Structures are given as structure tokens and as C-alpha cells.
Amino acid sequence: METFTDLIDRDKVQQCPKHYVLALTDTLNVINGKWKLPIIASLLHGRVRFKDLLENIEKITPRMLSKELKELEINGFVKRQVYDQTPVLIEYLLTDSGKHITKVIDAMIDWGMIHRAESIKSRWQ
């Protein structure tokens, strides 16, 4: 299966800063905001129900979660899976496109953990 990175000629992108900046801008437009990354991170390990997302993400309101999930769905990051049963079961999961950003999120988590530890350490010195 061909991945997104297989479709990119990185040498051409790096030779043209405008395309490089545009690619970064496109990425930020999709994941921008206070809630999108926590939502994506909550979906990294598989399917999650709406109420579980609410529990996983502190301080997000149901209305905001619904809005953000719809935007992520429109941008092709998240899929809403409805199961025909009683009561109706609805789960959210990352699409292949959504899964491609996991390396970026993992790097951000690693950086955040190191940064937090260094900040705490520097406060006590």
C-alpha cells in the first residue's frame, strides 16, 4: 500500500521553501486548536465512544467535542462508525490519514515530557 510519504518528492519540497511552508500550514490547519491533538491522541489506541472521549479529555464540553470531531471527520482524520444495534453504538477511530500523524504526536509527547521534567527541575534549583 502506497503511503502519503511515498507520494512526496522531499528533495523538491526542500528546494522550494514556499511548498515547505504550505505543507506545514496545511498540517497546522487540520490539527490547530486546543482540542484536536488531545482528541487524536485519545484515538491512537483504537476505537473510542463519545462518552469515553469526554472522560479522557479534561474540561472539554460535549458541544465542543462534537464540533471538533465533525471537523476532524471532514478533514479525513477521524471516522464515525455507527453500529446498528439497540441502543445504537457509535465509535470514533482514526483513518489511515489520521494514523499517519502518530509519529508527530509521539515526538510532541516525548518533547513535552522532557520539557516538563526540565521545567520542574529548574524550579527546584
Assess if residue 72 is contained within a domain.
yes
Q: What are the φ and ψ backbone dihedral angles of 32, each rounded to 5 degrees?
A: -65, 150
CATH number of residue 73's parent domain:
1.10.10.10
Decide which of 2 and 84 is more confident: 84
Domain assignment present for residue 57? The answer is: yes
Give the residue with greater pLDDT, 105 vs 1.
105
Instruction: Quote the pLDDT of residue 39.
Output: 97
Position with higher pLDDT, 43 vs 8? 43
Contact predicate 57/35, CB 8 Å: yes
Q: Does residue 23 sit within a domain?
A: no
Does residue 66 form part of some domain? yes
Q: What pLDDT, on the 0 to 100 scale, is given for residue 53?
A: 98
* Rounded Cα–Cα distance for residues 20 and 57 (Å): 32
Task: List the strands of the sheet with 78-83, edge to edge.
Answer: 48-49, 89-94, 78-83
pLDDT digits (tens, 9 = 90+) for 83-114: 999 999 999 999 999 999 888 888 988 999 99
Q: In terms of residue numbers, what domain contains 52?
A: 33-123
Q: How sure is the predictor about 5, in pLDDT bands with cuts at 50, 70 and 90?
A: low
Considering its fold, how many domains does the chain have in total?
1
Q: Is residue 96 part of a domain?
A: yes
**5: in domain:** no
In a domain, 1, yes or no: no
Give the pLDDT band of residue 2 (cuts 50, 70, 90): low
Tell me the per-residue pLDDT of 19-49, one tens digit each, with 9 for 90 and over.
788 888 888 888 899 999 999 999 998 999 9
Q: Is 70 part of a structural domain of the chain?
A: yes
